[in-house]
Amino acid sequence: STADKGPYRHYMLKEIFEQPAVIAETLEGRIYKGRLLEESFGHEAKRLLDAAKGVHIIACGTSYHAGLVARYWLEEVGVPCSVEVASEFRYRQVVVPKDTLFVTISQSGETADTLAALRESKKMGYLGSLCVCNVPESSLVRESDVAVMTRAGPEIGVASTKAFTTQLVALRLLALALARRHGMDREKEKTLVEELESLPRQVEVALSLSEAIEEMANAFAEKTHALFLGRGTFYPVAMEGALKLKEISYIHAEAYPAGELKHGPLALVDADMPVICALPNDPLLEKVLSNLQEVRARGGELFLFSDERIRINLDHYHSLTLADICPSTAPIVYTIPLQLLAYHTAVLKGTDVDQPRNLAKSVTVE
Ligand code: G6P
């Protein structure tokens, strides 16, 4: 009913704006005074995490993108990690290194391929299984050894938003738990936990860009293609931005690691190709800027979400700025403007935002 949407025109917008609250909810009881409260994962989790020498992550759709971000986080603390979509994983010959933890990520916990992959994994010699899931009574939760629940609440919009950012929060917690086993000291843990604590506030600030993004969306409604670029964790964030745009606005959108631009997509860049990029203040900034220079040289129109502290040396671009965002949580914060861009573009195009054509909230058949 309309009432459930409160003051919002669509469930998707409501869910985008719920993110500060559901992120805080997902952190509740899991961090305290600069410490990860690992007991909150349960006894079985400790056993698996103690033994895990590596991680294989399997998921579909938006949840797969969360897994791709997590790979950077896990390898950063010394944990080998691979990430794959469930439909590929389940039908190929996979080599499982000793003591590998099998991790699934799913909003619904009922996605057919993800469930089948979990069932298959039990015959493959994995250490055990852990799921990051939003539905406590789901098959995935029932069938996994350990469940780290996201607390996004019911997600109605087919295009996933709050489930994704809470998955990333849960995966940050998992990365912290593994980092502890790989020499993270108390000081470092304190910093990282504080970064998580400040996340709801930072997401709040990103949400305040909504009106400006609505304005920006005018430039997209007439376009037929869009290119999202990113490097490091912002590459999967770009993938998620492109997925959101294509799912609900039906604009063909593609994400590319910015460093690969010259190996193909640059051929498509002209004045009709909007190029969207998150530009956090991180060590890859200069590299990304030089990739964006290439886009400008071909007349591509740039739409940037950038850190207010950085200087952008480009002849022409549209940008909206975010304040000083913590490095460990920046992929979560920079996802917000991309969700809003897709949303406002779709509204301008008049598509069915909450129920895009041909798509289902949960793909329970293969
Ligand atoms: C469908 C939904 C997506 C979702 C994907 C995986 O494609 O439309 O929003 O990301 O399934 O769903 P899951 O419930 O496993 O996260």
Per residue, the 3-state secondary structure of the chain, as one string, reads CHHHHCCCCCHHHHHHHCHHHHHHHHHCCCEECCEECHHHHCHHHHHHHHHCCEEEEEECHHHHHHHHHHHHHHHHCCCCEEEEEHHHHCCCCCCCCCCEEEEEEECCCCCHHHHHHHHHHCCCCCCEEEEEECCCCCHHHHHCCEEEECCCCCCCCCCCCHHHHHHHHHHHHHHHHHHHCCCCCHHHHHHHHHHHHCHHHHHHHHHCCHHHHHHHHCCCCCCCEEEEEECCCHHHHHHHHHHHHHHHHCCEEEEEEHHHHHHCHHHHCCCCCEEEEEECCCCCHHHHHHHHHHHHHCCCEEEEEEECCCCCCCCCCEEEEECCCCCCCHHHHHHHHHHHHHHHHHHHHCCCCCCCCCCCCCCCCC
Per-residue pLDDT, 43: 87
Ligand 1 atom having least distance to the Cα of 359: 8
Residue 264: count other Cβ atoms within 10 Å of its Cβ.
Answer: 9
Q: How far is the CA of 158 from the centre of ligand 1 (A)?
A: 8
Q: Catalytic residue at 361?
A: yes
Residue 340 CA from chain centroid, whole number: 14
CA separation (Å) from 84 to 20, 45, 55, 79, 202? 29, 22, 11, 16, 30
Ligand 1 atom having least distance to the Cα of 167: 16
Q: How far is the CA of 63 from the centre of ligand 1 (A)?
A: 7
Ligand 1, pocket-test mutation among 166, 171, 363, most atoms within 8 A of CB: 363
Q: How far is the CA of 88 from the centre of ligand 1 (A)?
A: 16
Per-residue pLDDT, 236: 98
Nearest CA to ligand 1 atom 4: 61
Q: Is 62 in the pocket of ligand 1 (CB under 6 A)?
A: yes
pTM of the model: 0.97
Per-residue pLDDT, 325: 85
Per-residue pLDDT, 76: 96
Q: How far is the CA of 229 from the centre of ligand 1 (A)?
A: 23
Nearest CA to ligand 1 atom 2: 361
pLDDT in tens, the chain (366 residues): 455 899 999 999 999 999 999 999 999 999 999 999 999 998 899 999 999 999 999 999 999 999 999 999 999 999 999 999 999 999 999 999 999 999 999 999 999 999 999 999 999 999 999 999 999 999 999 999 999 999 999 999 999 999 999 999 999 999 999 999 999 999 999 999 999 999 999 999 999 999 999 999 999 999 999 999 999 999 999 999 999 999 999 999 999 999 999 999 999 999 999 999 999 999 999 999 999 999 999 999 999 999 999 999 999 999 999 987 888 999 999 999 999 999 999 999 999 999 999 999 999 988
Residue 77: count other Cβ atoms within 10 Å of its Cβ.
Answer: 19
Per-residue pLDDT, 160: 97
Per-residue pLDDT, 359: 94
Q: Is 246 in the pocket of ligand 1 (CB under 6 A)?
A: no
Nearest CA to ligand 1 atom 8: 361
ipTM of the prediction: 0.98
Relative to beta strand 31-32, strand 35-36 is antiparallel
Per-residue pLDDT, 3: 57
Q: Is 157 in the pocket of ligand 1 (CB under 6 A)?
A: no
Ligand 1 atom having least distance to the Cα of 59: 15
Q: How far is the CA of 332 from the centre of ligand 1 (A)?
A: 18
- Best CA proximity match to 55, nearest among 68, 42, 41: 68
